[in-house]
Amino acid sequence: MKSALEIKPDISYKSAGKFEETRFEKIHNEIFKNSAEASVIVAQEIAQLIRSKQEKGKSCVLGLATGSSPIKVYEELVRMHKEEGLSFSNVITFNLDEYYPMSRENNQSYHYFMHQHLFNHIDIKPENVNVPDGTVAIEELNQYCIDYEMNIKNAGGLDFQLLGIGRTGHVGFNEPGSHINSGTRIITLDHITRVDASSDFNGIDNVPKRAITMGVSTIMRSKRIVLMAWGQNKADIIKRTIQGDISSEVPATFLQNHPNATFVLDQSAAVELTRFKTPWLVGECIWTQELKSKAIVWLCQKTKQSILKLTDRDYNNNGMSDLLAQEGSAYDMNINMFNDLQHTIKGWQCGNTNTD
């Protein structure tokens, strides 16, 4: 499959405005050439927030995430601290989640991860760092989770929440089935999540079965949310989250109702969005030969017809009326495309690829 990077140059919208282009999308998103470029922009937004709070003599409350997605953001924040004097002295952090049970010293713990990638390299006050504690006794967990929520509230609430997304559509560890009103709690990890974590733990049997996570409602109360996703293996869940119906089956879809959430994507993570995958469904296209064959093959699959049986109506009903107008009729277009595709078959007419 082609990456959006490869497809994009073929898709230039003649007059389609931003609104038309994104009309299937229910969450604001920004797409960058790569994760490095995008991470710098996200880090700059965080730094700006920290500085503006500093100027007002206020603390800045950040919700932080683990996983591979935010690593470059942390790298950039550390660079800004070292080279540009960005201070974290007014910052209070709350991490989203932690495996359970999990000791802090374990190098798979999120406590360890956060210190390794961020806290050890900046001037944050140790007492301002909050990562759910994977060592709390099970009978004390309920109260511990209530206290975690209260601590966020007492700090003034989250000003900014950084998120990644799991292939199950989880944010934090809010797995499918999580309720919109859920708070910080213990949760059983989805099998797919444990499979994805298995390489870090040297096999699925070593991946904890449970975790402590902030709830969906905890995340939704943040004043600003930025979710990052990189790479093609996130493309499917990103499409379902941005374009699908809100459902606890894909907990990240709850973010559709957040008034100030942005998804920051690289081009590969965005490749399944309708405006890249089937751009003729969102607006007028410049019909290059490559785009035409992609669209017609798609139309055959959609209508379950062979090329020579596609009708004017098939084209008109599937966002290709401008192509139809340009080419004259379905009849001519079908034959031309049939011949084009036929020429790609080696051995046709005893090897004469130019014979129709």
Residues of the shown chain interacting with ligand GLP in the complex, contacts defined by CB under 6 A: 65-69, 96-97, 164-166, 172-173, 193
Nearer to ligand GLP, 65 or 242 (CB): 65
d(CA 197, CA 211): 13
Instruction: Pull the structure tokens for residue 253.
Output: 């879809």
Q: Residue length, the chain?
A: 356
φ, ψ dihedrals at 174, nearest 5°:
-80, 95
Q: Which amino acid appears at position 341 of this protein? A: L
Nearer to ligand GLP, 230 or 280 (CB): 230
Nearer to ligand GLP, 96 or 295 (CB): 96
CB of 70 to ligand GLP, least distance (A): 7
| Annotated catalytic residue within 149, 175, 272, 327 | 175
Query: Burial code of 313-323, b = ≥16 C-beta within 10 A, e = fewer?
Result: ebbeebbbebb
Mention every residue, 6+ apart, whose C-beta is less than 8 A from residue 309: 334
CB of 144 to ligand GLP, least distance (A): 18
Mention every residue, 6+ apart, whose C-beta is less than 8 A from residue 250: 168, 169, 176, 237, 240, 241, 244
Q: Is 175 a catalytic residue?
A: yes
Angle, vertex CA 251, rays to CA 249 and CA 254, nearest 5: 120
Q: Is beta strand 261-266 parallel, antiparallel or unpaired with respect to 210-213?
A: unpaired
> Cα 151 vs. chain centroid, distance in angstroms?
28
d(CA 331, CA 311): 7
Nearer to ligand GLP, 230 or 315 (CB): 230
CB of 155 to ligand GLP, least distance (A): 20
Instruction: Pull the structure tokens for residue 331.
Output: 């009849």
CB of 90 to ligand GLP, least distance (A): 25
Instruction: Pull the structure tokens for residue 34.
Output: 């790569």
> Cα 93 vs. chain centroid, distance in angstroms?
22
Instruction: Say which residue the tokens 């979710």 belong to.
Output: 227
CB of 346 to ligand GLP, least distance (A): 41
CB of 157 to ligand GLP, least distance (A): 20
Per DSSP, 336 falls in state H
Q: Which DSSP string corresponds to 136-148?
A: S-GGGHHHHHHHH
d(CA 346, CA 181): 59
CB of 164 to ligand GLP, least distance (A): 3
d(CA 69, CA 313): 44
* Positions marked catalytic: 175
